[in-house]
Amino acid sequence: MRPHVIDDAELWLRRKRNRGVAAGQESLCTISNPIGAESRFVFRNLKRGLHFDLCTVTIASALGVPYPIPSSKEPMATTIFNAPRILRSRIPRVCVAVIGNTPEEMIEKAETLIRENPFLELRLDYLANPAAALPKVKRLLETRPDAVFIGTCRRASNGGKFKGSAAAQLEILTKAAAAGCQLLDVELETAESVKAADLQKLRSAASLILSYHDFKATKKLEETFARMVKVPAEYYKVVTTATSLYDNVVMTKFLEKHGHDYWLIGLCMGEQGLISRILSVRAGSVFTFAAASAGEATAPGQVTYRDLRSTFRVDHVDAATQIYGVAGDPVAHSLSPAMMNLAFRRENVNGIYLGLQTKKIDDLLACIQDIPIRGLSVTMPHKQEMVSHLANADDLVRKIGAVNTVVRAQDGKLYGFNTDVGGLVGPLSDRISLNNARILVIGAGGAARAAVFGLTVRGAQVSILNRTLPKAQKLAREAGAKVVKRADLKKLDFDVIVNATPIGMENPKASPLEPDEMRARIVFDMVYNPVETKLIKQAKAKGIATIPGLEMFVQQGARQFEIWSGKPAPVEEMRGVVMKALGEVTSSEPVAPIPPPVEAVKPEPKPAAHNNNGSSAQKSHAPAKKAVEVKSSKKSVAPPKAAKHAKKVVAKKR
C-alpha cells in the first residue's frame, strides 16, 4: 500500500480544478487521499501550477497499518517521505537522451547539452560499467543545481543494453539517485519481478518513472495501464510503436483520459509516431523524449531536440495550435516541415507542420478528422485518390484529377487545390515563353498530370514519356498531348524536358534519361533532394540550362502557406531554410544562360559565284522556324491567386 505523499495532493487539486485561491495567496486545505487518509496542506496557486508547502500530515490507513507520522514542527525526513519530489511545473517539455561508449564521453556530451536543454536522461545501460559514470554525474549536478536528470539502466530483455539482473539494475539506479539523479526509470517487468520493499527503497531516494515499452504495436493500453497502477510510482510512462497514423490518435486519447489523474509520459515510436512525440505534451504527457543529435536516437523514430524545439516548436504547442502536415509515402526525406514551420514562425501563425507517412488513404482521413488536421500537403501516392474525398475543389484539381493541397473546414469537410502547376509554370515562364514551346514530360502520375495540363493550357506542345504506355496514352488524350517512345528520343529536339517522376530521389545515382537522350535547351527536375540529381548533372555536363526542383518546391509551398494562413508567404526565408538544409549556400550561382532554339539562320548575301557555264549558283535555305522567345532568367514569385481563390471556394460552399 502506498503512503500518502505530496504528489497525490497536487493531483487531487488538479482533478478538482480548485480555483478558490488567487495567485500568490496562501490557504489551508484539508483533503482526503485515495485510501482514506486525511492530510492538510498549505498551497500557493502559481501561474505554472500548484506548489505545496507541507505543514502537517496525518496518515490513517484504511487498513489500519501504522505509518511513521512526522511532527508538524519537524521536516519530512522519514524513510517514507525523504525522496525529493520533482513537481511537474519544474520539468521542461523535452528530455534529451544521452548515450556514450565511455563515462567520459557521456558526461562530456551531457555538459554540452545541459547548456541548451537542462533536462537529460542518462542511458547508463549503454556503458560497459554504468556505475563508473556516477561520480562524474554527481560533480556535474553540483555545478548545475537547475538541471533535472533521469537515471536509466534498461535491461536487454526490455529493449535496453544492460545484461545484468533486476537486482543489479536496482543497485545501479540507487547509486544514480545518490549521485543526484532526481528521477529513475524502471520497467514494469522489473518492478513486477522484485520485492515491493526494494522498489519502495528506490522510491525513497528519487521519484520513480514506471515504464512500459511495446516495440511491435499500439494495443491493449488500458489493460497494460491497469497493471502499471498497481505498482506505486510518481510517473507512468507508456511507449508503444505506431504501425499506422491512427495509432497516434489512440495514444493521445489515452493520455487525455488518464492525464488528469496520473502524471503520464506517453508517445509512439517509429516513423509514423512523430505526431505523438509532439502532440502528446498537450494531450497530457508531462514531457517527451528527443535524441542529442542525428544518429544518436535511443528509440525508433526519435528526432533531435533541436528539431523538436526549433522546427516543431514543441515548447509552444497548446490547445489552440493548428496542425498541418505532408501526407504520403515516403515523407522522411521531405523538407516541407522545415520550410513550413519557419513560415509559421516568421508570420506568427500558431501552427505546426508534421510529416505524416502512410500508404493507406483511410488511415490518413481518420487522422484528419480525429486529431484534427487543419491542412495537408498531399504527395505520392495519394494525389489522385484524395480527389474523391473532397467536398469541393478548384478548377485545376477537377481538370487535372490530382490534388496537392487540402483545407479542412470547421465542419470537417475537405477542400482541394493544386499548387503544383504554379510551382512548375512560374520558374519556366520566367525563362521562356511557353506558347508553342516543345516540352517533354517524363511520367504520368499526379505531378506529371499537373505539369501536362498546366503546360498545354498555356499553349505548349507537350509530349509524354512514361514507363507504362496505356497510362501515358490516357493522360495524352485527356490533356491534348501526344505520347513518344523512348527509342525516338535520340532524334527529337525539345525546348524543355521535365522530370515528373521520383527517379533520382531515393537513389541519387539513378536518372530517367541517358545523356544522348537529352536534346533540349532546359532540363527541369521536380526532384529537389538532392539539389543536383544525376539528371541535372548530366544536363550541365552537356551545357544545357537547368532548373532544380528546389524552385518548384518553394513556390508551390508558398502558395500552400497563403491558402492556409491568408498571409503573404515569406518566400526568400523559405528558400533559404531549404537550401541550408540541403547544404547549399544561400547565394546561389548565376542562372546558366539558355541556348537559343536550333534553327536555320539566313546568311549574309555573298557575290554570286560563276560556274564554267557562266551561270550563277546560290545555295537555297529552308525557311527558319519561329524561335521560342527567351525571357530573362531573373526569378520572381507569382501573385498568390490560389489563396484568393481558396477563400472564394470555401465561402461559396458554406
Domains and CATH numbers, the chain: 1-82 (no CATH), 88-319 (3.20.20.70), 421-581 (3.40.50.720)
371 is written with which cell numbers? 486529431
Residue 366 pLDDT = 96
Q: What is the DSSP annotation of 420-463? A: HHHHHHHHHHTTB--TT-EEEEE--SHHHHHHHHHHHHTT-EEE
Q: What is the pairing mode between strands 322-328 and 375-378?
A: parallel
Active site residues: 383
C-alpha span between 111 and 513 (Å, rounded): 51
C-alpha span between 449 and 441 (Å, rounded): 9
- Helix (H), strand (E), coil (C) string for 465-508: ECCCHHHHHHHHHHHCCEECCHHHHHHCCEEEEEECCCCCCCCC
Q: Tell me the one-letter amino acid at 55.
A: C
Residue 85 pLDDT = 54
Residue 6 pLDDT = 40
HSE, CB side, 13 Å, CA atoms: give it for residue 132: 12
Residue 597 pLDDT = 58
Q: Tell me the one-letter amino acid at 553.
A: F
Is the distance from CB of 406 to CB of 414 less than 8 angstroms?
yes
Is the distance from CB of 343 to CB of 373 less than 8 angstroms?
no
Residue 30 pLDDT = 37
C-alpha span between 325 and 304 (Å, rounded): 19
Residue 89 pLDDT = 61
C-alpha span between 465 and 483 (Å, rounded): 6
Is the distance from CB of 122 to CB of 149 less than 8 angstroms?
yes
Beta strands across the sheet bearing 49-58: 26-32, 38-46, 49-58
Cβ neighbours for 324, distance < 8 A, ≥ 6 positions apart: 340, 351, 352, 353, 354, 373, 374, 375, 376, 377, 564
Q: Is the dihedral of CA 624, 625, 629, 633 positive or negative?
A: negative
Low-confidence stretches of the chain (pLDDT beneath 70): 1-89, 584-654
Identify each DSSP E strand in 539-613 by its residue range.
545-547, 609-610
Residue 506 pLDDT = 84
